[in-house]
Amino acid sequence: MEPIEVSAVAIRDGEGRVLLCRRTGTLEGRWEFPGGKREKGETMAQCARRELLEELGVHARLTRALCQMPWETPEKNLLFTFFEACLAQGETPELRVHSAAEWVAPEKIGAYTLCDADAAFINTYYNVLLEK
């Protein structure tokens, strides 16, 4: 089975915090990095930018690709590409599909109930998020 390709983006602010968003619908109440499924013909970077515009109404600048991480569930195989991004000065995320969004210092992420794939990313790449 071919994996479903998914982007996820750690948006950073000037203080080194990352934006976590609380899901609605499937996995409601859990926190995640914004992102979503790649559409046909898109690169993963294009997917990430489109998803941020759709979900948060922002034109984020991707600063680097952090990693690719396979993730399997009983129903499907996913391949996540995690990016780091920053917002243009004065841009503020809007809640379009999430119930909440919070800027969180990397050392405080453990207080949030994350989606499993996002938690696995944090467990493996936590030190990357500490870099400012």
The pairing of beta strand 61-72 with beta strand 77-86: antiparallel
DSSP state letters, 85-109: EEPPTT-----SS-SEEEEE-GGGG
Residue 132 forms part of a structural domain:
no
pLDDT score at 18: 95
pLDDT score at 125: 80
The tally of domains found in the chain comes to 1
Residue 76: which region, alpha, beta or left (left: phi > 0; alpha: psi -120 to 50)? Answer: beta
Residue 123 forms part of a structural domain:
yes
pLDDT score at 63: 95
Give this prediction's pTM.
0.92
| The length of the chain, given as a count of residues | 132
Report which secondary-structure segment, H or E, holds 62: strand 61-72
CATH number at residue 36: 3.90.79.10
Residue 47 forms part of a structural domain:
yes
pLDDT score at 117: 92
Residue 97 forms part of a structural domain:
yes
Binned average pLDDT, 10 residues per bin, the chain of 132 residues: 94 94 94 98 98 97 95 93 93 96 95 94 79 63
Residue 42 sits in which domain range? 4-127
pLDDT score at 49: 98
Largest CA distance in the chain: 43
Residue 82 forms part of a structural domain:
yes
